[in-house]
Amino acid sequence: MSRFAIINKVNAPLAALTSPLEAVRQFTPNWFAVTMGTGILSLALAQLPGDIAALRTLGEALWLLNIGLFALFSVMYASRWLLFFDEARQVFGHSTVSMFFGTIPMGLATVISGLLVYGPARWGTAIVPLAEALWWLDVAMALACGVLIPFMMFTRQEHSIEKMTAVWLLPVVAAEVAAACGGLLTPHLAAADSQFTVLITSYVL
């Protein structure tokens, strides 16, 4: 076997796994951080000064890619809980990986924001009810992360100031990201009471 063939074999996707199902078994929520970065870049490209069409097109393409990534990661992580429940639940006792639960609602928030930035031009105002429903789901997940993960930190995990890192912020920052997304959603809502409810909820978050 040539050196080039050996390098390709070593670098092949999933080469270190005994089977494709191992990718599901080892899947963790930190992968959703990818959707955070991809999503925020897609949103930034649409709001840069100059209104450059090429940048907006690139941003929309990244947003569509981000939807695909979020859907793929969601299916993989849900599958892990269904197929490897005993292993999946151990994440709550992990002092680092459990912090990344906050990346799930934050990744979803970029998808929702993109729906409001790019969706109306493509699908019209029909996407607003979908964005609103997804936003309330995002709020629920953000609140769950902001309450349950710190609770786990005190009751099931071991932490110390010497080992403190920025990942401790991930579970609680999710609510702030949901609030920012709510501010983007509010002007698109037709009913005044819905605008008021979303706005006040965002301030509370």
| Helices and strands (DSSP H and E) totals, the chain | 9, 0
pLDDT of residue 13: 63
Q: What's CA 13's distance to the chain center, in Å?
A: 23
**Secondary element (H or E) of residue 29:** none
pTM of the model: 0.88
pLDDT of residue 75: 97
Which among 200, 184, 172 is positioned nearest to 131, based on CA atoms?
184
- Domains, the chain, in order of start with CATH, read 29-204 (1.50.10.150)
pLDDT of residue 195: 94
Q: Residues 33, 100: contact at Cβ < 8 Å?
A: yes
Q: What is the pLDDT of residues 91-120, one digit of tens each?
A: 888 888 889 999 999 999 999 999 999 999
Q: Residues 38, 69: contact at Cβ < 8 Å?
A: yes
| Token pair belonging to 46 | 């649409």
pLDDT of residue 24: 87
Count of Cβ atoms closer than 10 Å to residue 35 Cβ: 27
Residues of the chain with pLDDT under 50: 1, 4-7, 10
pLDDT of residue 101: 93
pLDDT of residue 7: 47
